[in-house]
Amino acid sequence: MIPSVLPTYSRAPLHFVKGEGSWLIEEDGRRFLDLGSGIAVNVLGHAHPALVAALTGQANALWHVSNLYEIPQQQALADKLVAASFADTVFFTNSGTEACELAVKMARKYWYEKGHPEKTGIIAFNGSFHGRSSAGIAAAGSEKMVKGFGPILPGFKHVDWGDHDGLEAAIDDTTGAILIEPIQGEGGIRPLPDQCLRGLRALCDERGLLLILDEVQCGIGRTGKLFAHEWAGVTPDIMMVAKGIGGGFPLGAVLATEEAASGMTVGTHGSTYGGNPLACAVGNAVMDHVTDPDFLETVNRNAGLLRQKLEGLVAAHPEVFEGVRGTGLMIGLKVRVAPADLVRAGYDALVITVPAADNVVRLLPALNITGDEIAEAVNRLDAAATALKGA
């Protein structure tokens, strides 16, 4: 008999009942150190007082009104994102997937209005993840994502990560945009080198293409800058954001330049919930924290500490770990064991990690994790690795 919850996930038998900062408390009282943050979502940890205050304050005033009316919390959040980024304009969604939908629509509408309705093509990359909608799975293109769900949304071509010649060859007169994660998340924490992102920007300028960045996982302070592309010193035309921006409340956004967004006029897109008062109240509180230069400096300092300790962990357990990669607090441990086995050994050692593709276990802690918590987390990972070796 089919479970009452549609069985599309393989779930660990853990029932968390409370969260405090970087800690998750199980029904039975065990305290887990959370290095997953609900997959890069709880950027300020669990139950951060400022987020609780923003949420409950708004809950007592007004939850939802629809986008038929002006929403001051949404306006304030858009102003903050515009002030802090390359973007001139923002559309709010409820998820990363919906941000992907709009990014694709926006790029196509741009070329349509420019008199190039043939430029519907989008080049994306193997190993990427852009969500589970028809556009999202078409953009990722992997068999795992699309098999059985055809007909697949047309217009996407895929090239290998790092295949410059393949990328050049894939561009033709129907290409309108390039879509890429600056750091592949689900794909196994594979950072695009800064010079490659600069090269992509130059290529887009040269060939007249829109550059769409998916910063759903790597944005909002995760890498130690507000957005990951800032490390390379170049900007996209369109960017998808979600996960961290709501700090745990479902919220996403598409940020764009005025030029790239020029086709999106009244009536061309919408969302019932997108940018509602409750979501934006929390989003504003998140932004107030993560845009503080002191906050980002602490992220970078803690990232350095974690990285150093993880290099030691890898060196201590060469049979379990192959290496450590990533940027800021978006870390991948490349493992020589099955990633799921290390994640499970982590549960026994009371530390939460997240598996990814390419034999990687992800560490995506809250951005305000403390130095002591980092030390304890690595101790617990050490215990997990030791237990695996003994198994």
Ligand X SMILES: *Cc1c(COP(=O)(O)O)cnc(C)c1O
3-state secondary structure of 253: strand
Q: Does 332 bind ligand X (CB under 6 A)?
A: no
Give the ranges where the chain is alpha helix by DSSP (H). Answer: 37-40, 49-61, 72-83, 96-113, 134-140, 143-146, 164-170, 194-207, 277-290, 293-316, 339-348, 371-390
Stretch of 5-13, 52-60, 181-189, 368-376 contacting ligand X, by CB under 6 A: 181-189
Tokens for 266, please give them.
Answer: 């009244």
Q: For residues 100 and 234, which CB has a smaller minimum distance to ligand X in the complex?
A: 100
Tokens for 275, please give them.
Answer: 């940018």
Q: Does 188 bind ligand X (CB under 6 A)?
A: no
Stretch of 7-15, 93-101, 281-289, 294-302 contacting ligand X, by CB under 6 A: 93-101
User: Using the rule CB under 6 A, which residue among 21, 121, 127, 131 binds ligand X?
Assistant: 131
Q: Does 276 bind ligand X (CB under 6 A)?
A: no
- C-alpha 145/C-alpha 127 separation (Å) is 11
327: phi then psi, degrees, rounded to nearest 5: -135, 135
User: Using the rule CB under 6 A, which residue among 37, 95, 223, 276 binds ligand X?
Assistant: 95
User: Using the rule CB under 6 A, which residue among 46, 71, 77, 181 binds ligand X?
Assistant: 181
User: Using the rule CB under 6 A, which residue among 109, 130, 229, 289 binds ligand X?
Assistant: 130
CB-closest chain residue to ligand X: 96
CA distance to 196, 209, 234, per residue, from 202 (Å) = 10, 10, 9
Shortest Cβ 218–ligand X spacing (Å): 7
- C-beta of residue 211 within 8 angstroms of C-beta of residue 237: yes
Q: Does 242 bind ligand X (CB under 6 A)?
A: yes
Size of the site for ligand X (CB under 6 A): 15
User: Using the rule CB under 6 A, which residue among 37, 42, 58, 97 binds ligand X?
Assistant: 97
Q: Does 185 bind ligand X (CB under 6 A)?
A: yes
* DSSP code at position 227: S
- C-beta of residue 98 within 8 angstroms of C-beta of residue 154: no
Residues that bind ligand X (CB under 6 A): 95-97, 100, 129-131, 181, 185-186, 214, 216-217, 242-243
